[in-house]
Amino acid sequence: MRVFTVSGTQVHDGLALPRQLPEQGFVWIACSRERFSAELASLQDALEHLTGRGLVDLHVSDLLNAQLPSRFDYSSHYDLMVFRRLAQRSPDAASMGTHGKRPGPPVLNRIDTSPVGFAVFDRVLLSVHPADCAVREAYASRLLASTHAAAQPTETADLRSAGARGVPSSPADMMLRIVSHMVDSYLDLRRELSRQLDHWQAELLNPRARFNRWDALLQARLALHQLEALCDDQHTAVQTWTESLDTWGVGQDKAAEREHELLKIRSRDVLEHIDRVVQHVRRLEQNTETAVQMHFNVQSNRTNDIMRTLTALTAIFLPLNLIAGIFGMNFEFIPWLHQASAFWWTLGSMGIIALVMGLVFWRKRYLARAGE
């Protein structure tokens, strides 16, 4: 468990649950799902003391559920956001085959995700992460780095004006920044998806190779469908959150109105990033489907070329077989049967017939190579 007290541009990192809120700012309590389950009573007591209200039992179950999809819910005292992030994978996971061996060409494994839950109070943010969550550590490091940079007099004004890189102004702002950081990992995943699917498309369209990795291609398409379903859930959750912002009572306070507007802008930015991932996934699915159709069209054209060539050769040898069949009849009187030059005249006639028919078929491109 890590506890961050954010006051203005100052951030203090600690391990103990706070007993009071800062005069200005808010508190971020970040803990793992196991720690949340073990210290649920003390966390509920701390939330009661800090905000006057603890978590609802159903929301506690949602935060403890490792299989929960991305979703948004709310109560009269806080909002609940569950957002699935990409799970940590080993560097060689994407290149390992189904039996743990390196097959050479890349294999797209099933995309593994884990939920991260956020309980957003007015001045408290509670986040529940998987064990050893890289998202929490990465954002905590960025937050502390922003604090150290804000201590430099020459950069203070710039950091205050650049809200995207400065210290968050509210728990909702911090939640959106962490969610945006998780969405960025999905954007980074696009490069790996593109690289692997480009490989399979090249294999499908290679006329000199016989493609037999349909299991890997099917696995890649299933991973794309899974990613699209994940993004749809994420989009619905963030969209519902964005719509709930309209119900917030801002009043006539200019600072609160500006902060509310920044939350809307940041929410729309997260939605735009999710839409970019969905559009890229759908484009990859369409390209893969097109490559598969082109592969079957190429195979069909290749089969047609082979059948055309075989048909032309059959047509060439058909009159030769007819001549051989006639002179192979068991009749006593057949023209040229007892002449010494009859064999050579017949053989020459058969050769001329085959040559003429071959030239005719070649001119009509019945015997041309594929692609000519």
8-12: Cβ within 8 A, 24+ apart: 8/167, 9/146, 9/147, 9/150, 9/156, 9/159, 9/160, 9/166, 9/167, 10/147, 10/150, 10/167, 11/143, 11/144, 11/146, 11/147, 11/167
First to last CA, the chain: 69
**Across 156-172, average pLDDT:** 60
Instruction: Inform me whether the pLDDT recorded for 59 exceeds 60.
Output: yes
Backbone angles phi, psi at 116, to 5 degrees: -120, 125
| Cα 266 to Cα 78: distance, rounded to the nearest angstrom | 19
Which H helix or E strand runs over 51? helix 40-51
Q: Which residues of 196-235 are buried (b: 16+ CB within 10 A; e: fewer)?
A: bbebbbebbeeeeeeeebeebbebbbebbeebeebbebbb
> What residue type is assigned to position 50 of the chain?
L
Query: What confidence score (pLDDT) does residue 252 get?
Result: 62
Asked whether the CA dihedral 241, 245, 249, 251 is positive or negative, the reply is positive
Nearest to 197 by CA among 112, 280, 284: 284
DSSP state of 14: E
| Cα 159 to Cα 370: distance, rounded to the nearest angstrom | 64
Measured CA to CA in angstroms, residue 35 lies from 53, 101, 102, 128 at distances of 20, 36, 38, 9
Nearest to 46 by CA among 83, 21, 66: 21
Structural domains of the chain, with CATH: 2-298 (3.30.460.20), 305-363 (1.20.58.340)
pLDDT band at 8 (very low <50, low <70, confident <90, very high): confident
Instruction: Inform me whether the pLDDT recorded for 168 exceeds 80.
Output: yes
pLDDT band at 61 (very low <50, low <70, confident <90, very high): very high
Instruction: Inform me whether the pLDDT recorded for 248 exceeds 90.
Output: no
DSSP state of 96: -
Model confidence pLDDT, tens digit, residues 201-227: 787 777 777 777 777 778 778 888 888
Cβ(119)–Cβ(59) below 8 Å: yes
Model confidence pLDDT, tens digit, residues 312-346: 888 888 888 888 888 888 777 777 777 778 888 88
| Burial group, residue 270, by CB count within 10 angstroms (0-12, 13-18, 19+) | buried
**Across 12-23, average pLDDT:** 85
| Cα 56 to Cα 63: distance, rounded to the nearest angstrom | 11
Query: What confidence score (pLDDT) does residue 151 get?
Result: 52
CA triplet 8, 11, 12: central angle to 5 degrees? 135
- Give the length of the chain: 372
Query: What confidence score (pLDDT) does residue 88 get?
Result: 52
Conformational region of residue 52, where left means phi above 0, alpha means psi within -120 to 50, and beta covers everything else: left
- The number of angstroms, rounded, from the C-alpha of 124 to the middle of its chain's C-alpha atoms is 33
Cβ(109)–Cβ(219) below 8 Å: yes
Q: Hey, what are 350's tokens?
A: 């058969």
pLDDT band at 281 (very low <50, low <70, confident <90, very high): confident
Average pLDDT, the chain: 80
β pairing state of 26-32 and 124-129:
parallel
Q: Hey, what are 335's tokens?
A: 């023209």
Query: What confidence score (pLDDT) does residue 145 get?
Result: 80
| Cα 29 to Cα 118: distance, rounded to the nearest angstrom | 10
The residues, any chain, with a CB within 8 Å of residue 257's CB and separated by 6 or more, are: 250, 251
Model confidence pLDDT, tens digit, residues 94-145: 443 444 444 444 445 567 888 999 999 989 999 999 887 778 888 888 888 8
